[in-house]
Structure formats: C-alpha cells, structure tokens
Amino acid sequence: MMAGPASFLKTAWTVLREVSGDAAYENYLTRHQERHPDQPALDREAFYLSELDRRWSGVNRCC
Amino acid sequence: MPKSIQNLIWIAIGVFGAACLGGIAIHRGETINAFWFIAAAFGIYAVAYRLYAGWICTKVLITDPSRATPALRINDGRDYVPTHRWITFGHHFAAIAGAGPLVGPTLAAQFGYLPGTLWLLTGAVIGGCVQDMVVLWASTRRDGRTLGQMARDELGPVAGGAALVGTLMIMVLIVAVLGLVVVNAMKHSPWGTFTVAMTIPIAILVGIYMRNIRPGRVLEGSLIGLFLLLAATAGGGWVAHHPVLGPMFNYEGTTLALLVIGYGFFAAIMPVWLLLAPRDYISTFIKIGAILLLAFAVIILRPELHMPALTQFTDGTGPVVAGGLYPFLFITIACGAVSGFHALISAGTTPKLIMSERDLRLVGYGSMAMESFVGVMALIAACVLDPGVYFAINSSAGIVGSTLEQATATISSWGFPVEAQHMMDLAKEMGETTLLARTGGAPSLAVGMAQIFAGAFGQSLLALWYHFAIMFEALFILTAVDAGTRVGRFMLQDLLGNIWKPLGNTAARGPAIICSAVFVASWGYFLYIGVIDPYGGINILWPLFGISNQMLAAIALAIVTTILVKKGQARYAWVTGLPMVFLAITTSYAAWLKLFDPDPRVGFLAGANTLEAKLQAGTLTGKALESAPHLIFNQRLDAGLTVFFIVVLWVVIIEMARISIRHLQGKPVPALSEVPYVNEATLPHPTGVGGH
C-alpha cells in the first residue's frame, strides 16, 4: 500500500463507503455479473429496499 | 523484532496501565486528572487484548485461519459476505454501542469514581469482551445461528425456550427504560423537545431521499440529515424563547410519555425505509461522531474530576440508584462491562461477515473493549461535574425535595455543597429553566460534556453543547425504541405463531399491527408508571433492566461453557464459566434484595407495602394519592418479573450443569452442532468486499 495523506484519505473514504453501505449496490452488481451474468440485476431502488428488509428482520441494534 | 523484546514492550504497557490504575485507587486529593483513567484503560485493554484474548484464541477456542468461515463457504452476496476485518469491526461496534454505556456509568458515579472504573475495566476484559468473542466464535462455527437456536441445539428445548422468553422480556424493559431516559431529558425543555421532535420529519425526508430521489445513496442522505439535525439543534434555542412556539414544545412528563408511546407504535407499523432505516443511518453517524468528540474531549483536554474516589453512598443509601455497592454497582453498569444483549448481535448478524477466524479477536474482543472505553468516558464526564451539581441533577424530588431550596439544602447536608443560585445560573447557561431531578443520566452527561467542551471552545456555546448532547442521546434512544419494538414484534410473532399459526406470519399486515400494539403496550406501561413515580422511575426500572441484561449475559456464557465442555475443553471452561458464576450469583443476590429488602427504596415488596400503609393511613394527598394504587400494583408486578428472570436464569444454568456432567460421564447429550471443517484453500476464489 502507498503511504502518504492522499492514499490515507482514499482508504478512509473506501472504508466509510463500505461500513455505511454506500457501496453495497456496486458490490452487488460486480458480484451479480460474476455469478449470474444471464439474469437481470435488481435496480438501485429494488436492491436498496430488499437490503433494508433483510437487515431489519433480526436484532441488529443494541441498547 | 525478536519475541523477547516484543514481550518486554507488552509487559511495560501492562505495568504502566496497572500503575495508573493503582495511582487512581490510592489518590486522595481534591481532584484527579482524567489522564490517569485514559492511560489505565488503554494499558489494560492492550495487555488483555494481546495476552489474554490471544491465549483464549490459541488454547481455548483453537481458532484456525485455514478453516473456511460461513461467509466464505456460503458467500451469497447478501447475508453471508466475507468482509474485511476493520469493516466488520465498524459494523459490529456500531451495532453494540448505544445509550447503555453512557447511562449506566453516569448513574454509578454516585458511588464515587473508583468502583465504576474498576468494574468497567475488569468486567470488560474478563467478562464482557470474553463473552462477545466466544459467542461470536461459537456462532461463526454454526453458520451464524442465533443465541436462541444455539441454546436449543446445544442445551435442548427447555433451555432454548427459557432463553427465548427471557430475551423477549428484556426487550420490553430496555425500550421502557430508554424511553424513560429520553422523557426525563425532554420534560419541560422546549429546546430539547423541539430538537427531538424534529428528528422525525428529518428522518422521513431522508428516507424519501434515499429511496426515491437518490436510491441507496446512504452517505449523501445521512449527510443531509446530519446537517438538518444540527440546524434543528441550533434553531431549538430560538424556538424555546419564542412566545408562541416555545410553549408548544413545553410538556409534562406524562404527556411526553404518551407521545413517545404513540410514536413507538407509529414507527413500528411504518415501512422500514420511511422512518426506521434513515433514522438509524443518521443516528449511527452522530453516535460515532459524538463518541469521537467525547474521546477528543477527555484525551486532549484531560479535565479534572471533582467526584471523590468513594462516596458514603456505597452503604446503599444513594439517591440515584438505591442499594449497596455489592451487588448494585454490577447491576447499574451492565453495558460497558458485561452486556448480555451483545450476545444477540455476536450470534446471528456479525458471524456472517467474518472472513477468517483470525478476525474473531479484533471484532469480538476489540469492539467490546472500545465500548468499555465509551463507558469510562461517560464516567469521566459525570465525575467532572461538581458532586453537588451531579446529585442535584440525578436525585429525584421524592428524595431531596421538590423545591430548589429544599434540594440544594438536602444535598449540601450530605457534604456536597451546592447553592440554589448556582443551580439556577447553570440551568440558565444550559438554556433550561431547571436541571433539578432530571434523572436518567442523559442530562448530567450533557452538562458534563458541555462543560468540558466549553473549556476548549468558550463559554458562549454551553447551551448549544448541552442540547447537542441531549439530541444525540435522544436520537439513538429513539432508534433503539424503533428497532427494539420491531425486533420485539418479530419475537412475539415467532412465539405466538406456535399457538395460532396466522399470528406468526411476519409479512401480513394484520398480525404485524396486533403484535406491535401488544409489544408497545407492554413497554409503554412500564414507561408510564416510571414517569408518574415520585422517586423518578429510573430507581426501579434501571436495576430491573440491569438484572435482566446481566441474566442474559450469564445465559450466553452458560451456552458457550457447555459448548467448550462438549468440545473436550473442560479444563478451560473457567474462561467463560467464571464470569458466568459471578454474574449468576450477583444477579440472584440483587434479585433477592429487590424482592425482600426491608428498605422500601430497595425492595419492591417493602416499597409496595409501605405505600399501601400510607394509603390506608390517609397520609397521601394530591398526585401521590392518585398514583399510589398504580405504583403499589407496579412494584408487585416488578417483583413477579424479578422472580421470572431468576427462574429463567437458573433453568439455563441447571441445564448447562446437567448436560456438562452427562458429557463428562460419557452419557449421551445433544450433539455438538458445529459445522464440519472445510479448508479455505479448497474453495473457489472468494470475492470479498473492502480493501484487502
């Protein structure tokens, strides 16, 4: 890995996008094209809604 | 670096941490600097993480980096996603950290700074972190099965059922007690109420943005929400002083309780994308931001602590939480030291992200150490206050008297001098009419934080800092109310579905509304009673919550202890067995005192009987007379609930002992449900997320 403030900021930005779920759709698309190139992928909105549904069906927040 | 030098460095860090802790323990000056607490905490966490957690991973859990984790094997791109360990750490920490580690240590500051600090540090490194990591390990080896499922698989249906029903009751108490904290912070505070109320339209706006305008752009949406919230916090000052708008946000506690209950139901039946999810995004950002800000405040500014090391209230006469140091310190500080609730996160959600068993230590042990540090910071913020001020904010009117003069005179007579004028000035500085009897911990933490920040950024912003602190606590408490109600509804549906199948359908509208209403009514009842209680409600609800949370921790530890024994690691079973025994004895003793202690402030039954005697003698008037029958019934109900928790706890512990002994005798027991070993190298090349 490169040293220096620019690469640090870049890493921080990547981590922030991954942790927050901002990059989730891109990750999904990459994966979808790899695994099921023949099937149509969900659009952004449908993917977002299905992600929320999945995430909020169990305990995911504590006191 | 040679191994010997590495070891020397770790030993040096450990000695330094221990020396700082020793310094804290024997220090007897007027004030003590926060630096010693931070240094002691870092030293102890570092050594425990490196040596104790490392030893547990190698010798007890025998973690194996070559073993394919469920995320690698199943890797469905949705639930099971191999994720870089720091990102998993972020997810896990954001999930476990909430208002709990801020409130508990603040309340426990009544004993002085020493007991809370010692318990937060030792409880975490020996109990809480171990629990989180071992449960995470057990669930990772079981494809991310939940705690309830593991209880059923490993201990049989009796313990499984007990764990499930116990968890549901804890959810009720958590939501009720957190709701009470937020009501006490908003009571007659137009500024606070306005800010908290604004979080609802802001969340809805962000929800629409994230779904319709820019679908899935959660960073943009959260940033907009964050900006609007800060604007609302600043604007609240103007609203509070407005002759027309101000009174519109000035409410009695009872009205606020009803509003929170109504809100809870409304939020539960709304679609997730509209309110719950956007609120959670914003609240997570604010939570992490506020924790970093607090860390900056205590690490960089290093304030002086004014609370003594020990107060006279270790004898059980404390005005904030009734009952002696043992067992009530260990009940009051649950989150931050050991929190059973974490086991629900460590089993289920997080294991499905673990990329390698090598990451278990960082994610399980590391995030809990960080949460414990949040607890230490909250304790510091509470102890920075003048003790007289701390007690004036945190003592209920039923104990110190309802007028400013009575309250300050009572508190001064305890040896913590505080003047009525000073309390009035302080309230004014914070933009409030009064700070008296704002029990629940949030307001005193906010005053403490405001004072620390004002030291760095100038006195003029005191009121803004105060309301910022109130806003962020209220924000993640309301998120917990939303999320807790939703999870509670699912659990209830799961349970009731066994009795009448249609009720178990979580996708159908009718059963969802019915079960949400039942669940909201359950916590709403405890919240409302807590608000009308002249002793502040927190005095009753917080210990009950603490007992239930520590009971869940003991249950989680019992489950993993059984697993260790069945894996042939009985000689190391003390790693989880010891904290389990300590928690089981402590919660049982606390429960015993809550039931039978003759002091009406400690014992539920004595409290009910004393009030009943007063009612019959006709000495009660006004509001006290009106609320007495409810309070009498409630204290008896609380007693029943305490018995229920203890029965659930001992059912699981007896099952654990029975299964372990049978296993050691070579008799048949439920088989270990661990999935078979698969070598990571034999899998197709993984597509992980995050830089690695």
Give tens-digit pLDDT for B665-683: 999 999 999 999 999 999 8
A14–chain B Cβ distance below 8 A for any pair: yes
Q: Calculate mean pLDDT across residues B299-314.
A: 92
Other Cβ atoms less than 10 A from the Cβ of B263: the count is 20
pLDDT in tens, B198-242: 999 999 999 999 999 999 999 999 999 999 999 999 999 999 999
Q: Is the pLDDT of residue B457 over 80?
A: no
Q: DSSP string spanning B602-642?
A: T-HHHHHHHHHHHHHHT---HHHHHHHHHHHHHHHHHHHHH
CB B77 to CB A22 under 8 A?
no
Residue B577's pLDDT band, with cuts at 50, 70 and 90, is very high
Enumerate the residues of chain B whose CB falls inside 8 A of the CB of residue A11. Answer: 691
Q: Is the pLDDT of residue B461 over 90?
A: no
Q: Is the pLDDT of residue B407 over 80?
A: yes
Instruction: Please provide the average confidence, as pLDDT, over all residues in chain B.
Output: 92
pLDDT for residue B691 = 37
Residue A3's pLDDT band, with cuts at 50, 70 and 90, is low
Do the beta carbons of residue B330 and residue B586 sit within 8 Å?
yes
CB B480 to CB A30 under 8 A?
no
CB A62 to CB B97 under 8 A?
yes
Q: Calculate mean pLDDT across residues B546-562.
A: 96
CB A63 to CB B273 under 8 A?
no
Q: Is the pLDDT of residue B117 over 90?
A: yes
| B residues 116-145 lying closer than 8 A (beta carbon) to A | none
Give the closest residue to B146 by CA, choosing from B294, B285, B341, B329.
B341
Q: Is the pLDDT of residue B466 over 60?
A: yes
pLDDT for residue B348 = 87
Q: Quote the ipTM score.
A: 0.92
Residue B497's pLDDT band, with cuts at 50, 70 and 90, is confident
| E strand or H helix at B529 | helix B509-532
Q: DSSP string spanning B569-584?
A: -GGGTHHHHHHHHHHH
Cis peptide, bond prior to residue B327, ω within 30 of zero: yes
pLDDT for residue A1 = 47
- Strand B32-33 to B304-305 pairing: antiparallel
CB B483 to CB A61 under 8 A?
yes
B691–chain A Cβ distance below 8 A for any pair: yes
For the CA atoms of B449, B453, B458, B461, what is the dihedral angle to 10 degrees?
-50
pLDDT for residue B688 = 46
Q: Calculate mean pLDDT across residues B583-609.
A: 96
Q: Calculate mean pLDDT across residues B434-448.
A: 91
What is the C-alpha separation between A61 and B479, in angstroms, rounded? 9
Residue B369 is encoded by which pair of tokens? 């150490």
Residue B689's pLDDT band, with cuts at 50, 70 and 90, is very low
pLDDT for residue B8 = 86
Q: Is the pLDDT of residue B596 over 60?
A: yes
* Nearest-Cα residue of chain A relative to residue B218: A22
pLDDT for residue B454 = 82
pLDDT for residue B87 = 93
Q: Calculate mean pLDDT across residues B241-245.
A: 93
Q: Which residue has the higher pLDDT, A3 or B366?
A: B366
| B residues 357-376 lying closer than 8 A (beta carbon) to A | none
Q: Is the pLDDT of residue B289 over 70?
A: yes
pLDDT for residue B685 = 63
* Nearest-Cα residue of chain B relative to residue A25: B216
| Cα separation values, B390 from B361, B438, B440, B452, Å | 37, 10, 12, 14
Ranges of each domain in chain A: 22-57
Q: Calculate mean pLDDT across residues B62-91.
A: 93
Would you mind telling me the total number of residues written for chain A in this entry? 63
Look at the block and give the residue holding tokens 């606390």.
B590
Q: Calculate mean pLDDT across residues B164-190.
A: 92
Proportion of chain B above pLDDT 90, given as a percent: 77
Residue B263's pLDDT band, with cuts at 50, 70 and 90, is very high
